[in-house]
Structure 1
Amino acid sequence: MRTTASSAAGTIDGTLDGTIGTVSPVELSLVVPLFNEEESVGPLIERICAAMATYPSAWELILVDDGSTDATIANAKLSLSRSGLILRIIELQRNFGQTAAMQAGITEARGRLIATLDGDLQNDPKDIPSMVAELERRELDLLVGWRKNRQDGLFLRKVPSFIANRLIGRITGVRLHDYGCSLKIYRSAVIKQVQLMGEMHRFIPAWVAGVVPSSRIGEMPVTHHARQHGVSKYGISRTFRVILDLLSVMFFMRFKARPGHFFGSLGLGLGALSALILFYLFIDKFILGNDIGTRPLFMIGVMLFLSSAQMITTGILAEMIARIYYRDGASLSYIVRAVHEGVDSSDATPQP
Structure 2
Amino acid sequence: MTQSPTQASTCDVSIVIPVYNEEDNLPELVARVGEAMQPSGFSFELICVDDGSRDDSARVLAGLAAKTPWLKPRYLMRNYGQTAALQAGFDAVGGRYTVTLDGDLQNDPLDIPDLIRTLESRSDISMISGWRKDRQDKALSRKLPSMLANRLISWATGVSLHDYGCALKAYRSELVKRIRLYGELHRFVPVLAFEAGAKIMEVPVRHHARTRGQSKYGIDRTFRVLLDLLLMKFMLRYLHRPLHAFGGVGLWMLVPGAGILGYLGVLKLLGESIGGRPLLLLGIMLALMGVQLIAIGLLGEILIRIYHEPEGRDQYRLREPPEL
In the superposition, the TM-score normalised over structure 1's length comes to 0.84
The SS at the match of 2:210 is coil
Structure possessing the higher relative contact order (Cα contacts under 8 Å, 6 or more residues apart): 1
Kindly provide the CA deviation profile for residues 56-99 of structure 1, in whole angstroms up to 9, marking residues without a partner as x: 1211110100001111011112222335x412111011010000
Q: Equivalent residue for 1:7?
A: none
Contact 1:59–1:111 (8 Å) recurs in 2: yes
What's 1:189 paired with?
174
Counterpart of 2:206, as a letter, is T
Find out whether 1:307 has 2:289 as its counterpart.
yes
**Pair 1:249-2:235 in alignment:** no
Offset of 1:173 from its aligned partner? 0.3
Deviation at 1:256, TM superposition (A): 1.5
* Partner of residue 221 from structure 1, selected from 193, 204, 225: 204
Picking from 99, 102, 111, the partner of 1:127 is 111
The C-alpha deviation readout for 1:204-228, integer Å capped at 9, x for no partner, is: 1111111115xx1011000111111
Match of 1:151 in 2: 136
Preserved CA contact (<8 Å) 2:130 2:202 = yes
How many pairs align? Answer: 310
Distance in 2 between residues matched to 1:302 and 1:308, nearest whole Å? 10
Percentage of identical aligned residues = 46
User: Which whole-Å deviations, capped at 9, do the CAs of 1:114-152 have from their partners, x for residues lacking one?
Assistant: 000000111100001111112233331010000011111
Matched ranges for 1:64-143 at <5 A: 64-82=49-67, 85-139=69-123, 140-143=125-128
* Match of residue 162 from structure 1: 147
**Does 2:213 correspond to 1:230?**
yes
The 1-side partners of 2:254 and 2:44 are apart by 58
Q: Distance in 1 between matches of 2:310 and 2:76?
A: 25
CA distance in 2, matches of 1:277, 1:148: 56
Q: Which of 235, 241, 262 lines up with 1:279 in the alignment?
A: 262
Which is worse superposed, 247-256 or 21-30? Answer: 21-30
Amino acid at match of 1:97: G
Match of 1:52 in 2: 37
1:261 paired residue number: 244
User: Which whole-Å CA distance do the structure 2 matches of 1:164 and 1:20 have between them?
Assistant: 41
- In the alignment, does 2:5 pair up with 1:16? no
CA contact (8 A) 1:20 1:110 kept: no
The equivalent position to 1:40 in structure 2, one of 15, 19, 25, is 25
Post-superposition CA distance 1:12-34 (Å, at most 9, x none): xxx534x7715233111000000
1:328–1:124 Cα change, 3 Å: farther
| Distance in 1 of aligned mates of 2:238 and 2:217 | 30
Report SS of the residue matched to 2:109.
coil
Residues 328 and 241 (structure 1 numbering): CA distance in 2 closer, same or farther, change over 3 Å? farther
Contact 1:141 1:187 in 2 (8 A): yes
Deviation of 1:266 after TM superposition, in Å, equals 1.5
Please, what is the CA RMSD of the aligned residues? 1.7
Contact 1:99 1:198 in 2 (8 A): yes
- Aligned AA (1:155): L
Higher helix proportion (structure 1 or 2): 2
1:179 maps onto 2:164 in alignment: yes
State how far apart, in whole Å, the 1-side matches of 2:76 and 2:157 are: 32
Are the equivalent residues in 2 in contact too, given 1:20–1:109 (CA < 8 A)?
no
Distance 1:276 1:227 in 2: 62
CA contact (8 A) 1:20 1:108 kept: no
Q: What is the rounded CA distance, in whole Å, between the counterparts of 1:20 and 1:149 in structure 2?
A: 43
Distance 1:20 1:170, change over 3 A: farther
Q: What is the DSSP-based 3-state SS (H/G/I as helix, E as strand, rest coil) of the residue aligned with 2:202? A: strand
State which drifts further: 251-260 or 63-72.
Answer: 251-260
Structure 2 Cα separation of the partners of residues 191 and 256 of structure 1: 20
| Correspondence for 1:11 | none
Give the Å deviation of 1:328: 5.6
Q: Is contact 2:130-2:166 (8 Å) kept?
A: yes
Which residue is equivalent to 2:321? none
* Unmatched tracts of structure 2, length 5 or more: 312-324
